[in-house]
Chain A
Amino acid sequence: MDSALIPEGAKRCSFPKFAIGIAVVGAVLLWGVFAMLLCWIKGLNQTNMNDYYGFALWIWADLAIIAIGGGAFFTGLLKYLFGIDELKNIINFAVIIGFICYSSALLILAIDIGQPLRGWFIFWHANVHSMLTEVAFCLSCYFAVLTIEFIPNILENPKLDKVPFFHNLSHNMHGVMAIFAATGAFLSFFHQGSLGGVAGVLYGRPFAFREGLLIWPWTFFLFTFSAAAYGPTFTILVTKITEAVTRKKLVKENVINLLAKISGWMITIYIIAKIIDTIYWAVSTAPEMGFTFMDFYSNNPVYGVSILFAEIVIGGIVPGLLLIFKQTRENPRLRLIAMILAVFGVCLNRWVMVLQVMAVPVMTFDQWAMYIPSWQEVATTILPVAYGIILIALCYRYLPVFPQEQELYAGNEQGAES
């Protein structure tokens, strides 16, 4: 019944089937929306945050999705600026994922602040010294860029494409996309970095504080680099999931492997930098403030050295190496594992840089503070996931997201999902 909207030649499941799928996810979405409204109407007392945990699950979610959304800018950078043309076959999807991640990040921020109606003061009364201001500006600008990058893809919807105006518009935009990609890359560099800066500049919090270059603490560069390194792994992971769900090959292996290879090297380089940073912090920065390395990893039920091990080794070194070596990289199963570990690794890093910072006692007579999110926090954090799934489903169904789909599909006839 919606066949007119489906790209020509693309096989899609029946509309009812699609609708049911959407409805199921939609239910979850609504649950999230309900929680969101609670937080807006009744206030943040709906959460389990407190004066020790001013930053909690939401800020982590923000940092995490922006990190894994980094695939968009990095892939764009590679394609348009370094002219790695194979990536055109995945760039659309990377952009969509980026769009989802960034729109979600903004939404979560809007829920997280105590006076949402004053949120725009961050622009109106901006304090240029604050990392958060930098984040807000770059975030919203980059979101605009992503939207622009997304539009042409939308316009390629057969129905819209019929309209010559849109047809031309999208085509012309394709032409100038390189400029946007460049801008996007530039903005991303700063907001990814400033997100790192958010924790790094807290010189009252020895666990988070890092020295650095000029006004930028090392975490600034680490965050940017990690986003570039880990972002694509998430893009690939989602692609793989989509392929699994639709039971179709959507992107050629060579493209995936290429991106995976680049990621692999990036991750490895990043993790080396991260290790150096950690060692320097542990032997110089923290002791100067009177803290031993173990002070941050003992006397509490959750945060032990295992966390650090998990982040650096399991979430960094392992996926890095798996993706560097051809044979492991090109083994689908191992590659998948690498992707999952990588995403886990970067998310854990963000968690530590937000939650553990809050947990560590600084005054000698203070205690470790532990925190468990309330269901409202969890629901509002799942909300973007549901929203993302729905948007991907819609895009996949109605937009020519994967240029190689037809070609790959030509061979094997199969029933397509959602």
Chain B
Amino acid sequence: MSELDEKTENGSVEATGECGTEEKKAKDNSGIGLGVIFFLVAFGVVFLSGWLLFPKLLYSEKEQPFNFNHDLHVYEMGSCDACHYVREDGSFSGLPDLYSCTQCHYEEPMGTTEDEKIFCEEYVAKGKEVPWLVYSKQPDNVFFSHAAHTEGAGMDCKTCHGHIGESKELPVYEENRLTGYSRDIWGDNIWGIKKNSWDRMKMDDCAECHEKETGSKGSCFQCHK
């Protein structure tokens, strides 16, 4: 009971407080230093693993069915919209299906590349669609109108898709283990810092541009279904 009362009587509390610190002072000299060391070590470990280890854990590298040479195809076909075009009803064709590819590629390869060989044997011959992994794939609830951007606003594919059209090799597809979407959506930089307009494809990036170009982020339904 006495103890209970002490609590509320300032004087005695002071006292206990005093003696408490007294005792501690003794240990401090060593304690502080050690504490600081522990702090630094812990900080270092966590900080570095966050930067270096975390991305490795978060993303799994996936192989494309076979390599695709955009550069060559753009050269042969003339432009992106030879294969990725806006249909007459304004909808977007997306990735060309097997049928479109077979307009040029028959069961016999045209060229000599290993990849085309795989394509002709594994897919054309068997009439199987190529299960490409799409770097810019967005969730189902996202509505994106290519017509609005390429036709309406006259934007260039590069603005969002970057220089993929000039690539000879397909980049590695890094799949986010948690969300199942490509790393390209959040961007290569794990903090999400971007240098170019095509480095990220998050909602904020859309909003940012819309804010700038149209003076507002727009309503939900503009980009969601």
**Chain A residues in contact with chain B, CB under 8 A?**
7-9, 88, 156, 158, 161, 164-165, 167-168, 171, 174, 400, 403, 406-407
With a cutoff of 8 Å between Cβ atoms, the chain A residues found around residue B3 in the complex are 8, 158, 161
With a cutoff of 8 Å between Cβ atoms, the chain A residues found around residue B24 in the complex are 164
Task: Write the chain A residue with the least CB distance to B13.
Answer: A171
Q: 9 closest Cβ contacts across the A-B interface? A: A406-B1, A164-B20, A9-B1, A171-B13, A400-B4, A168-B20, A168-B17, A8-B3, A406-B4
Taking a contact as CB atoms under 8 Å apart, the answer to whether A156 and B1 are in contact is no
Task: Write the chain B residue with the least CB distance to A403.
Answer: B4
- Asked if B112 is at the interface (CB within 8 A of a chain A CB), the reply is no
Q: Least Cβ distance of A407 to chain B in Å?
A: 8
Q: Given the complex of chains A and B, what is the CA–CA distance between A208 and B148 in angstroms?
A: 44
Q: Least Cβ distance of A10 to chain B in Å?
A: 9
Taking a contact as CB atoms under 8 Å apart, the answer to whether B4 and A7 are in contact is yes
- Asked if B8 is at the interface (CB within 8 A of a chain A CB), the reply is yes
With a cutoff of 8 Å between Cβ atoms, the chain A residues found around residue B7 in the complex are 156, 171, 174
- Asked if B23 is at the interface (CB within 8 A of a chain A CB), the reply is yes
Known: A156-B7, A171-B7, A171-B13. A8 touches B1 (CB 8 A): yes
Which applies to chain B's interface (DSSP): helix, strand, loop or mixed? helix
- Asked if B150 is at the interface (CB within 8 A of a chain A CB), the reply is no
- Asked if B167 is at the interface (CB within 8 A of a chain A CB), the reply is no
Q: Given the complex of chains A and B, what is the CA–CA distance between A370 and B13 in angstroms?
A: 59
B: number of interface residues (CB 8 Å): 11
Q: Least Cβ distance of B88 to chain A in Å?
A: 37
Taking a contact as CB atoms under 8 Å apart, the answer to whether A164 and B1 are in contact is no
With a cutoff of 8 Å between Cβ atoms, the chain A residues found around residue B197 in the complex are none
Q: Which of B130-188 contact A (CB under 8 A)?
A: none
Task: Write the chain B residue with the least CB distance to A165.
Answer: B20
- Asked if B16 is at the interface (CB within 8 A of a chain A CB), the reply is yes
With a cutoff of 8 Å between Cβ atoms, the chain A residues found around residue B16 in the complex are 164, 167-168, 171
Q: Given the complex of chains A and B, what is the CA–CA distance between A8 and B1 in angstroms?
A: 6
With a cutoff of 8 Å between Cβ atoms, the chain A residues found around residue B1 in the complex are 8-9, 406-407
With a cutoff of 8 Å between Cβ atoms, the chain B residues found around residue A158 in the complex are 3
Taking a contact as CB atoms under 8 Å apart, the answer to whether B13 and A403 are in contact is no
Listed by A's residue number, 26 A-B pairs whose Cβ atoms lie within 8 Å are A7-B4, A8-B1, A8-B4, A9-B1, A9-B4, A88-B8, A156-B7, A158-B3, A164-B16, A164-B20, A164-B23, A164-B24, A165-B20, A167-B20, A168-B16, A168-B17, A168-B20, A171-B13, A171-B16, A171-B17, A174-B7, A400-B4, A403-B8, A406-B1, A406-B4, A407-B1
With a cutoff of 8 Å between Cβ atoms, the chain B residues found around residue A407 in the complex are 1
Q: Given the complex of chains A and B, what is the CA–CA distance between A164 and B13 in angstroms?
A: 12
With a cutoff of 8 Å between Cβ atoms, the chain B residues found around residue A7 in the complex are 4
With a cutoff of 8 Å between Cβ atoms, the chain B residues found around residue A174 in the complex are 7
16 additional A-B residue pairs with CB within 8 Å, beyond A164-B23, A164-B24: A8-B3, A8-B4, A9-B1, A9-B4, A88-B8, A156-B7, A158-B3, A165-B20, A167-B16, A167-B20, A168-B16, A168-B17, A171-B13, A171-B17, A174-B7, A406-B4
Q: Given the complex of chains A and B, what is the CA–CA distance between A7 and B13 in angstroms?
A: 18
Q: Given the complex of chains A and B, what is the CA–CA distance between A110 and B13 in angstroms?
A: 42
Q: Given the complex of chains A and B, what is the CA–CA distance between A406 and B1 in angstroms?
A: 6
With a cutoff of 8 Å between Cβ atoms, the chain B residues found around residue A9 in the complex are 1, 4
Q: Least Cβ distance of A269 to chain B in Å?
A: 33
Task: Write the chain B residue with the least CB distance to A158.
Answer: B3
Q: Given the complex of chains A and B, what is the CA–CA distance between A314 and B4 in angstroms?
A: 41
With a cutoff of 8 Å between Cβ atoms, the chain A residues found around residue B20 in the complex are 164-165, 167-168
Task: Write the chain A residue with the least CB distance to B5.
Answer: A403
Q: Least Cβ distance of A34 to chain B in Å?
A: 30
Q: Least Cβ distance of B134 to chain A in Å?
A: 26
Query: Interface centre among A9, A161, A164, A165, by most B CB within 10 Å?
Result: A164
Task: Write the chain A residue with the least CB distance to B17.
Answer: A168
Q: Least Cβ distance of B127 to chain A in Å?
A: 41
Q: Given the complex of chains A and B, what is the CA–CA distance between A406 and B13 in angstroms?
A: 20
With a cutoff of 8 Å between Cβ atoms, the chain B residues found around residue A8 in the complex are 1, 3-4
Q: Least Cβ distance of B178 to chain A in Å?
A: 13
Q: Which of B10-26 contact A (CB under 8 A)?
A: 13, 16-17, 20, 23-24
Task: Write the chain B residue with the least CB distance to A402.
Answer: B4
Q: Given the complex of chains A and B, what is the CA–CA distance between A88 and B7 in angstroms?
A: 12
Q: Least Cβ distance of B141 to chain A in Å?
A: 13
Q: Given the complex of chains A and B, what is the CA–CA distance between A338 and B133 in angstroms?
A: 70
Q: Given the complex of chains A and B, what is the CA–CA distance between A8 and B6 in angstroms?
A: 13
Q: Least Cβ distance of A117 to chain B in Å?
A: 13
Q: Given the complex of chains A and B, what is the CA–CA distance between A200 and B114 in angstroms?
A: 70
Q: Least Cβ distance of B144 to chain A in Å?
A: 20
Q: Least Cβ distance of A83 to chain B in Å?
A: 15
Q: Given the complex of chains A and B, what is the CA–CA distance between A171 and B14 in angstroms?
A: 9
Q: Given the complex of chains A and B, what is the CA–CA distance between A165 and B31 in angstroms?
A: 15
Q: Given the complex of chains A and B, what is the CA–CA distance between A7 and B4 in angstroms?
A: 9
Q: Given the complex of chains A and B, what is the CA–CA distance between A63 and B1 in angstroms?
A: 39
With a cutoff of 8 Å between Cβ atoms, the chain B residues found around residue A88 in the complex are 8
Q: Given the complex of chains A and B, what is the CA–CA distance between A168 and B18 in angstroms?
A: 10
Q: Given the complex of chains A and B, what is the CA–CA distance between A314 and B3 in angstroms?
A: 45
Task: Write the chain A residue with the least CB distance to B4.
Answer: A400
Q: Least Cβ distance of B119 to chain A in Å?
A: 41
Q: Given the complex of chains A and B, what is the CA–CA distance between A403 and B3 in angstroms?
A: 11
Q: Which of B106-124 contact A (CB under 8 A)?
A: none
Q: Given the complex of chains A and B, what is the CA–CA distance between A8 and B7 in angstroms?
A: 14
With a cutoff of 8 Å between Cβ atoms, the chain B residues found around residue A156 in the complex are 7
